Amino acid sequence: MPLLYLVYLQWSFLFSGKVFQTFDRWTEVVQGTSWYLETFRPVVLDNAPNCMQPELLVPSNVNFLDAIYRDFADEVFQNKSAGLLGAAVQIETESYDDLGEVDKDERWEQKYGPFHEWVEGAFPYVHKTLKVEKVNTWGLVYTWQGSDATLKPIVLGAHQDTVPVDRKTLSQWVNPPFSGHYDGTYIWGRGTCDDKEQLIGALIALELLAKHSFNPRRTVILASGFDEEIGGQHGARTIGNFLLERYGENGIAFILDEGAGYGDLLGRTVAVPAIGERGHVDVKVQVNYQGGHSSVPPRNTGIDILADMIHTLNLNPPKPLLSKKNPFYDTLQCLAAYSPDLPLSVRKDIIRSSTWAPALKRVTSWVLGLPSGPLSPLGGTLIRTTQASTVIQGGVKVNALPEQVYALINHRIVPGSSVAETQDRIISLLTPRAETYNLSLSAFGASIIPHEAKAGEVFIDDAFEPGLEPAPVTPKAAEWDLFGGTIRAEWAKRDVSFNHGEMEDIIVAPGVMNVNTDSKHFWKLTKNIFRYAHLDPKGMYNGLHTINEAITLENFLGHVRFLSLLVLNADEARTF
């Protein structure tokens, strides 16, 4: 009997799959040892071929370039630039979620009337030289018509609006949020880092080029929406349609919109223009359940059920997905090629990951441990769909059972996934919970659990507008080479023009944006969208969307120089 029992245990162990699970875990441990890796998976540490650098690109008109760089170095020009950004900050252009239609809500006029009046007076050469058109009243489209109609135009994008300032935080600001104060180092106020520095920087660059009688062959467009912080439906969406009607699908060479910049990434200065962007979908989960007096409650109230559903979603987060189609994978390849402080084991695994799944799995684990930020080019959020419960509502009185409760859940969708996959996950997780509480379930327009004889109802649907898929990825073609070459040129000229001393060359790496920008309304215009601001986070006092928003003048002027070079380089390009 004991022998038969042992045979039974062995048989059960084998066919339960545990032996295979144990073997898999053992294999994973062995494959992670340095002996195995160096013996069976050796790597060549030179990863530069997997992060090819665009050729440094300086405009060929040396005399013109010298003339504008003399202005860049002039203290009068620098102080005037600080004053222009500061003046733009002084005009409040906050976006609120409850703003109504442009022709009905008087707050639009109160904010953008003064702002447009100031812009027109502040940039006389721009308004003398470029055609200015208003789209949906407050959208700005500046067109500098080129002489060669066969060349596709370029678009510089920026938004006029900012997030609101919480008036309860005013005492925490070093300088008032709408002062625009320049203290000799920083320009202070709401919008200095998001996104008036992009708009005013572009206007300063165009003003300078016009002042020096630049005559473009390629048309240059500055497109500025006014409600990016609430989705861009009134501003960028209408501008996108306006430009689409004029230039047609793929009628634009490339678009520059706001995004991350450059900075130290593990011991090397790296610029990370985002060539992709996460998608998003806001989901509303609503529970309709029995009301009544709180003195005789059911076992679970509607609030309890909703809380359980949110908890279920949080206990089962979306799985990480480090796809080779995700531009962040290219970011990692560049780190493996050029960042000296990247741990050697991670460097080797990044190189191996292109052909070996266990290495990709270990890289995924390493990335998940990195901190994330809205504009950070690194972080675990760039390889997984995230969910955040941001609004909850339910109940009207302490002694009345809530009859209707709901939560709003924001999802940011990783490249390689989709809105449908995000929705399917929610349905699969919440259907069993609805069954547990004997509730009907309707999700995204489909009946999942019929309503007959149920104790209550669960409705799951888009909270606002339909979800947004992850953005199409910009190809690494001639437009990418020009963009990256311009970044490298601005950086290289700092040595010569501004006596920054010997500086290591900047590396350019493709990346992906954590957040959405107005560029989502421009997808049909071009395959080439770069989300980038030529700024160093170290030159921002406290980041963006928070108290003490401020930017150094030096940081801001670097962006102005980059925009000027970008227009000049694009004007000389003939490969697109």
Q: CA torsion sign, 229 to 234 to 237 to 243?
A: negative
For residues 365 and 354, what is the distance between their CA atoms, to the nearest angstrom? 16
Residue 14: its pLDDT value, please?
Answer: 53
| In the chain, domain spans | 62-263+473-572, 277-462
CATH for 62-263+473-572 is: 3.40.630.10
* 435 assigned ligand-binding residue: no
Burial of 409 (0-12, 13-18, 19+ CB in 10 A): buried
CB 437 within 8 A of CB 333: no
The model's pTM: 0.92
Residue 504: its pLDDT value, please?
Answer: 87
Residue 516: its pLDDT value, please?
Answer: 94
How is residue 427 written in tokens? 């349905």
* 545 assigned ligand-binding residue: yes
How is residue 373 written in tokens? 């930020």
* 166 assigned ligand-binding residue: no
Active site residues: 161, 228
Domain spanning 277-462: CATH 3.30.70.360: yes
Question: Digits of tens for pLDDT over the chain (576 positions)?
Answer: 555 544 544 555 555 555 445 545 655 666 677 766 777 677 888 999 999 999 999 999 999 999 999 999 999 999 999 999 999 999 999 999 999 999 999 999 999 999 999 999 999 999 999 999 999 999 999 999 999 999 999 999 999 999 999 999 999 999 999 999 999 999 999 999 999 999 999 999 999 999 999 999 999 999 999 999 999 999 999 999 999 999 999 999 999 999 999 999 999 999 999 999 999 999 999 999 999 999 999 999 999 999 999 999 999 999 999 999 999 999 999 999 999 999 999 999 999 999 999 999 999 999 999 999 888 899 999 999 999 999 999 999 999 999 999 999 999 999 999 999 999 999 999 999 999 999 999 999 999 999 887 899 999 999 999 999 999 999 999 999 999 999 999 999 996 666 556 678 999 999 999 999 999 999 999 999 999 999 999 999 999 999 999 999 999 999 999 999 999 999 999 999
Residue 12: its pLDDT value, please?
Answer: 55
Encode 462-480: b = buried (16+ Cβ within 10 Å), e = exposed: ebeeebbbbbebbebebbb
* 109 assigned ligand-binding residue: no
For residues 3 and 534, what is the distance between their CA atoms, to the nearest angstrom? 74
